[in-house]
Chain A
Amino acid sequence: MLAGVVFCAFECSARAQGYAAAIASDEPSIAPGSRITLQNWQRYKQFMSAGMIALFEGSHFWRLPPNIEIEIGPTISIPLPAKYLQDTARYANRTALTKTRDGGYVPTGYVAGLPFPEPQKGDPALTGERVFWDTYYRYQPRVQGAPNFSYSLDPAGDMTQTSESTYVQSQLTFLSDPAMPAAVPEANPSVYTAKFDEELSPEQSRYSTLLDLLPSDPTKVDELYEYVPALRRSLRLSQAARCAPVFGSDYLVDDENNGPPGLPQLFKVDYLGEKKILALVHATPAAFDSPGTAVGLDSRFFYAGGAGVVPFPKPAAGRWELRDSYVIALERLPQFADGYCYRKRVLYVDKENYFAAAQLDLYDSADQLFKSQMIISYPQAIPGTANDVVQSVAGSNTSFLINFKDKHLSVEPNLHACINSDCARNGYFDVSRYASPEGLMKIVQ
């Protein structure tokens, strides 16, 4: 009861005040070395997302393990890469927000780097839009690839490794990598990013491969192809159904971009303010050596999951830190809202590097908390640079999508990623193999 009142105190007041009151930017910090437990968490809830608060409260089926401990460390900088910052300085003044006929906004003139390096400057009504597009175009290397795993945890407490795949992500345009052109010459110029995901297990779906081509025009929907082993060729798919569940998981099609939804021009983006948010972004690298076992995550680094219990990272997985974040909320424009899967998507965007998915809350049509995403990661060095690092989306991260409404949970441990030249020995630079439909003819013939 008390927990419900506390939750509503946050939720209801936030709703009533447009979330602004709940995310003032001048909260005190947490001293490194502090430990957050079930006994003292309320002292720190101002640094938590709504999803994290719900987990501590245990009011939405999912809760944290009873012996949970979150160890706080110092905030360590994760700056954007030097070349990306150079491109930001060079091209940022060319980018402008243009209002679409439907009332959304899209950037025009974007070349590379951050489109809006100072998002709070300019029309205050568009601050959220500027933060969002910075997130959308945040730095990603030319190639990154990693072994990816999926687990599901059902209401009965069955935790199962449901799949293993090889994931390769290729950025083909708007590149900011040293010694590389802004666009890959041999690639289709209308493609921004290619996501290639080849299943390795279970055996019945081995070789199944999804190729998702994100257009360089963000107002267009992705082009999607699937290699079907039973057909020995690819099938053309459509991503028009943004709310369709991804098979066997809690993700919907619109959840698969680590923060930003597809067709962002159909959304209005509200800037809710700034907030220091707890995140595990300097996780122990060893936590990404192995996904764990067939029935659970690596017990050295994660608590055991169970019925209603989230397999949360243990202190051995690394020390959490406070990240200065922008908070934005995306809602479909009224004319496109009918039938859409979420009422609202709240992103906590890291102010330093614009990574948005360390914490993410999703609300249903009744504005109730539906799901929360949490990604733990560590920044990986970018080969060929002095000291640049990146939070790879392909690997070196573990993603939790907690489905409060359906009492189900999906976890994706993605192991150490290869980045740029490290991927060469795997052949990941081959656009025709990993970033075009031609590659789907080269899996199993």
Chain B
Amino acid sequence: MEAYKAVRSRSLAILIISALVYVASFSEQARAQDLSLNLADQFGRSIFTGAAQPMLDLSHSDSPLSGLSITGLLSNTSGMWASSAELTNFGRAAGEHHGANSLSVERNWIQADSNYVLDGNNKFFVRFWGVYEPPYPWESTNILSEQQVYDKSQSQFYNQYTVRDAFWKNTTGPLTLFLGRQIVTWGESLSFRVGDVINPQDLSWNFGFANLEQSRLPLWMVHPILNLPKAGPFTDNFIEGVWAPAWQPMYTNVDYADNRYAGLHSIAGSVNLQPPGGARFDTYPYPFTTPAQTPPGMQAAFPQVTNLVSQVQTYRLPSDTWANSVEGFRLHTLVEDAEITALYWHGHQLNNTMFVNGTPQIGQTFQFRYPELNDVGITLNRPIYIPVGALANVPFVLRTEGVWQDRTPFNTLNTARPSAVVYSSTLNTLAALDVDGLATPWLSRTGALTLNLEWNNYTILSPNKDLVYGGYAEHWRHNEENLLFSASTSWWWGAVVPTPTAIFNPDGNTWEFFPNIVLTPPWTNKYLLMLEFIGVLSNDKYSAYAGGNFKGKNILLMQFQYNFDLVRGRN
């Protein structure tokens, strides 16, 4: 693995140097073509002042490289725990130990987008990510168990250098085909995953709810969109398909200390990446896994386990076979003012479920699996216009979606189920109301007010009373409710943009707060600063669905972003 990394690093360096040499050599041609290029001047202007001025503008040249654009950003996120001393006790009952150092995040990130326009019908996109995070003192003394000491190898866990998206887009007649590594998002929600069933998430470095976009993991896939003719009142019709193999290689940020993905790197990208056990973004652990560990009067999470032969948990990811491919399609139409889609998806669970392997007679172990599923869903949105009265100028938009899943796995306390898993169909729905860009001169003369309210309901259709959150002994509620509140406006022509956001779940009166304020200097849009608070309040620290098991992990963070524009081509 190390040798492989070294080869890959060298190859990457050679590739970057080659590209720079090529671009530099082309700049000589560009100069010859009287592009009025003054690299030093452009460089200085680009680095220090004003907006995104490209270092090299090829957009007017006749070279094949005229379609190339390379832009990106450098970002530093520095964060501190709101109360690190309190967090030293986080998970202690379950055997975890943490340092009191208050550094919670120090993420350094570069994103570089290469867009290449070959012609109007063929375009290429590559997004590179490089991430460096130092070892965290809060994690350095973490001991999850004797087998899971947070050692030096895991301190490199968060670092990555990867091609995140890489695809070719071809348009031929009514068909547009995307081929390569992509993110495809369906559904209507801003923050809950309802119709958003395709891509897994990287939950190892941030709470997923705090940054849904950057947590997505692209998949290698074939992704066609076929335009369909109008049919009566149905306009803007198209059908979209996705087929992705189980082969989804991932080599960085999967080096868990417990070696859970040993031999699985070629398929590691097909499921959600969980934080390392006991790490900064891991959830509050339940202390009583088996009856042998459980004091009288308490409930073990897995009462079925009476002869645990090994603490080591194994992972059974969907293997690299044709049968484990995931696929689905979505139909889109517009009827009157309503945008409607219907989707079908066949795949596997993205989050793992803990199965008990073996029997008490021969010995039992735990295994994480990702069972197969089928999703059927429908989404609808439309603006709501109130013709007269005080609400006539209020820009309401209604968004709804619902997805039925045929076979969702749940852990159970029922000792008659030796695997500790039963299945039930589920219904995941969302109703949302937006006020989108309301003029509010009393609040801001230069910005509009946007409000979002989302109500997510997750219903387990089985009447089974023994279902518990995975790894916990707390019962699932058959109707889980989450409410999202968000508001945003801006002042001084977009220089100050506050966005208070919160999610509420009645279970334990759980609140997840993530308000932020983005400051962009009036004299430039080349850099900006975001200040954010991430906070979790809850009376139920074992509430896995509501997020109570993040209780107390409150972070104050500051994110600085610097944009760069290396090469500008035609678009």
Q: B-contacting residues of A (Cβ < 8 Å)?
A: 147, 152, 154, 156, 158, 160-164, 166, 186, 188-190, 198, 200-204, 206, 221, 223-224, 229-233, 236-245, 247-250, 252-253, 293-295, 339, 341, 406, 408, 424-428, 430, 432-433, 436-438, 441-442, 444-445
Complex interface: chain B residues within 8 A of A161 (CB): 50-53, 525
A442–B337 alpha-carbon span in the complex (Å): 22
Q: Find the residue from B51, B120, B393 having the highest chain A CB count within 10 A.
A: B51
Q: A-contacting residues of B (Cβ < 8 Å)?
A: 45-46, 49-53, 69, 71-73, 113, 119-121, 125, 165, 167, 169, 171, 174, 176, 178, 182-187, 190, 212-213, 216, 223, 225, 227, 229-230, 235-236, 238, 240, 332, 334, 337, 339, 381-386, 392-397, 399, 434, 436-439, 444-448, 490, 492-494, 522-526, 528, 561, 563-565, 571
A425–B123 alpha-carbon span in the complex (Å): 13
Contact of A160 among B490, B523, B563 (CB under 8 A): B523
Residue of B nearest to A437 (CB): B236
Complex interface: chain A residues within 8 A of B439 (CB): 241-245, 252, 341
B53 touches A293 (CB 8 A): yes
CB distance from A378 to the nearest CB of B (A): 19
Residue of A nearest to B195 (CB): A233
Residue of B nearest to A156 (CB): B522
CB distance from A8 to the nearest CB of B (A): 25
B385 touches A204 (CB 8 A): no
A238 touches B395 (CB 8 A): yes
Complex interface: chain A residues within 8 A of B171 (CB): 427, 430, 433
Instruction: Please name 22 pairs of A and B residues whose Cβ atoms are closer than 8 Å in the assembled complex, sorted by A.
Output: A188-B235, A190-B235, A198-B571, A200-B69, A202-B526, A204-B561, A223-B383, A236-B399, A238-B397, A238-B434, A238-B436, A240-B383, A240-B393, A240-B396, A241-B394, A245-B439, A249-B493, A252-B439, A294-B46, A437-B334, A442-B225, A445-B167
Contact of A294 among B52, B240, B399 (CB under 8 A): B52
Complex interface: chain B residues within 8 A of A160 (CB): 50-51, 522-525
Complex interface: chain A residues within 8 A of B383 (CB): 221, 223-224, 236-240
CB distance from B82 to the nearest CB of A (A): 25
Given contacts A245-B447, A445-B167, contact A232 B395 (CB under 8 A): no
A247 touches B490 (CB 8 A): yes
| Given pairs A238-B397, A294-B53, 10 additional interface contacts (CB within 8 A) | A160-B524, A161-B51, A162-B51, A237-B395, A243-B439, A244-B395, A244-B439, A247-B494, A426-B571, A427-B121
Given contacts A200-B571, A201-B51, A253-B437, contact A445 B522 (CB under 8 A): no
A188 touches B446 (CB 8 A): no
A243–B437 alpha-carbon span in the complex (Å): 9
Complex interface: chain A residues within 8 A of B235 (CB): 188-190
CB distance from A82 to the nearest CB of B (A): 28
B438 touches A204 (CB 8 A): no
A221–B120 alpha-carbon span in the complex (Å): 31
Contact of A241 among B49, B73, B395, B447 (CB under 8 A): B395
CB distance from A244 to the nearest CB of B (A): 4
B186 touches A233 (CB 8 A): yes
A223 touches B337 (CB 8 A): yes
A421–B171 alpha-carbon span in the complex (Å): 18
CB distance from B21 to the nearest CB of A (A): 25
Q: Find the residue from A164, A188, A433 having the highest chain B CB count within 10 A.
A: A164
A339–B50 alpha-carbon span in the complex (Å): 37
A204–B447 alpha-carbon span in the complex (Å): 18
A441–B236 alpha-carbon span in the complex (Å): 12
Complex interface: chain A residues within 8 A of B49 (CB): 294-295
B190 touches A424 (CB 8 A): no
B236 touches A293 (CB 8 A): no
Given contacts A161-B50, A202-B52, A442-B225, contact A425 B119 (CB under 8 A): yes
A160–B520 alpha-carbon span in the complex (Å): 12
Complex interface: chain B residues within 8 A of A204 (CB): 73, 528, 561, 563
Complex interface: chain B residues within 8 A of A147 (CB): 571
CB distance from B463 to the nearest CB of A (A): 35
A432 touches B238 (CB 8 A): yes
Contact of A436 among B212, B236, B337 (CB under 8 A): B236
A432–B523 alpha-carbon span in the complex (Å): 38
A243–B434 alpha-carbon span in the complex (Å): 17
A408 touches B397 (CB 8 A): no
A160–B225 alpha-carbon span in the complex (Å): 39
A161–B436 alpha-carbon span in the complex (Å): 26
A208–B150 alpha-carbon span in the complex (Å): 41
B523 touches A408 (CB 8 A): no
A445 touches B184 (CB 8 A): yes
Given contacts A241-B393, A248-B494, contact A164 B337 (CB under 8 A): no
A180–B569 alpha-carbon span in the complex (Å): 31
Complex interface: chain A residues within 8 A of B52 (CB): 161, 164, 201-203, 294
Complex interface: chain B residues within 8 A of A294 (CB): 45-46, 49-53, 524, 526
A428–B165 alpha-carbon span in the complex (Å): 25
A189–B385 alpha-carbon span in the complex (Å): 21
B396 touches A245 (CB 8 A): no
CB distance from B228 to the nearest CB of A (A): 9
A202 touches B490 (CB 8 A): no
B447 touches A441 (CB 8 A): no
A244–B437 alpha-carbon span in the complex (Å): 6
A392–B219 alpha-carbon span in the complex (Å): 42
Contact of B493 among A224, A248, A339 (CB under 8 A): A248
- The 8 lowest CB-CB distance pairs between A and B, nearest first, are A294-B50, A427-B120, A238-B395, A248-B494, A161-B51, A244-B448, A203-B563, A238-B383
A437–B334 alpha-carbon span in the complex (Å): 9
Residue of B nearest to A295 (CB): B50
Residue of A nearest to B438 (CB): A241
